[in-house]
Amino acid sequence: MLGTQVYDGFFQIVNGSFENPLLRLAVMAVVAAVLGFGFVAPFVTMAIWAERRVAARIQVRVGPNRVGWFGLLQGVADGIKFIGKEYILPSGADAFFYQFAPVLVFAAAYIGFVALPFSQFMVVADFNIALFFIFAITSLETIGVIMAGWASNNKWSMFGALRECVQVVSYEIPLMLSLLIATVMYGTMSLMQIQDMQDGAGAAGILAWGIFRSPLFMGLGAILFYTAGLASCKRAPFDLPDAESELVAGYHTEYGGMNFGMFFFAEYASMYIICAVMVLLFFGGSNFFGLEDIGVNIPLDAIGVKGVLPLYLGNLILVGKACIPYFIMLQLRWTLPRYRLDQVIDLCLKVLLPFCLVCIVGQAVWSLCGMDDWAARMFPEAVPNIGEFAKKLSAAGQ
């Protein structure tokens, strides 16, 4: 595929330039990390800007509007400020873990992007367990947060860490179970294949999206995933680990400068992961009425905008779709009060968990009855048939 060609070309260049295999690996790792960062960093900067502007609009304020157009470069200015700040180690803190925690949190959120598709062609690594990989890696974030709370030698930080223990670890269960609902339907955990299955043509193509294939169970699954995702990102109304009015700033009370910046960055990166996975599983990924396929047939060596158009059109569609759940996250944060710890756990165990289990069973029955393809039967031209797709996949595998 097109994306693979880009990466192949890149790897060929690197392979040809360095003799020493270790050096080659190191250079490839650094360059790949920088390329990935090139996507994640602007997105996070924009996300922070959007958060502040939306919050300001909701709260009858103006918000950042001085740095760049409409304050668009505010995130960059903030980053420079973070880097320029003095490094402070609180007295009595565990120096190693204090410093390691933000790095771990940052790395965990960032590695998740390895398996997260950027468009229908572009992904760093197309695992067959991509979905599982993303959430296995990003859940390392929890360890970093607990580490930060414990190492800071501050009681409020420790409370934040303990709350993180209780809340985020509990919410991993409904989060993973809600992913299982989608997995039952698609029969695969590869996000690229899941995207391909949702690729429909024309106006009826929208019915190929996961949520329309099984409106009841996948619809409920989307809500469950979103709620559990909110809690695992520590977003309001589940922002207990860094509840300002209760725990000062929770686990990052003692962090300043770029160390805090890394927590901040990780929060928005993992928010994007939640939103993007939600779009990928339930809302068709980068498919949008065939718009994503414009320019696919143009060969890659056609230099200029045309050549990279299909790469970025799909990406824009994916990010654009992910902005909608992100925007809802912002609205929730700036509207709702915060739950109490026992209420958060109540919601997890008494509401989300039973609903998840019911949805998994329901979806399994729905899929067994072949109901996933109801749209494919009605519009055979427009909507691909999941069953046939799976057959083709297994044939290709053999």
Of 62 and 378, CB closest to other proteins:
62
CA distance 29 to 23: 10
Our finding on whether 156 is near other proteins (CB under 8 A) is yes
Cα dist. 102→107, 146, 267 in Å?
8, 11, 11
Among 47, 236, 273, 353, binds other proteins (CB under 8 A): 236
Contact letters for other proteins, residues 127-146 (x by CB under 8 A): --------------------
Our finding on whether 171 is near other proteins (CB under 8 A) is no
> How many residues lie near other proteins (CB under 8 A)?
27
Among 155, 306, 391, 392, binds other proteins (CB under 8 A): 155
Q: Tell me the window of 54-62, 271-279, 355-363, 377-385 that interacts with other proteins (CB under 8 A).
A: 54-62
Contact letters for other proteins, residues 292-331 (x by CB under 8 A): ----------------------------------------
Cα dist. 330→39, 48, 103, 106, 221 in Å?
21, 10, 26, 21, 21
CA distance 230 to 237: 8
Contact letters for other proteins, residues 260-299 (x by CB under 8 A): ----------------------------------------
CA distance 212 to 359: 15
Our finding on whether 17 is near other proteins (CB under 8 A) is no
Tell the smallest beta-carbon distance from residue 84 to other proteins (Å): 25
CA distance 240 to 343: 11
Our finding on whether 91 is near other proteins (CB under 8 A) is no
Tell the smallest beta-carbon distance from residue 345 to other proteins (Å): 11
CA distance 266 to 168: 15
Of 355 and 366, CB closest to other proteins:
355
Secondary structure of 208-243 in the HEC alphabet?
HCHHHHCHHHHHHHHHHHHHHHHHHCCCCCCCCCCC
CA distance 234 to 109: 13
Of 154 and 363, CB closest to other proteins:
154
Our finding on whether 223 is near other proteins (CB under 8 A) is no
Among 340, 377, 391, 392, binds other proteins (CB under 8 A): 340
Q: Among 203, 193, 187, which residue's Cα sits nearest to residue 375?
A: 203
**Kind and range of the H or E run holding 390:** helix 386-397
Of 212 and 339, CB closest to other proteins:
339
The dihedral built from the CA positions of residue 92, 94, 100 and 104, taken in this order, carries a sign that is negative
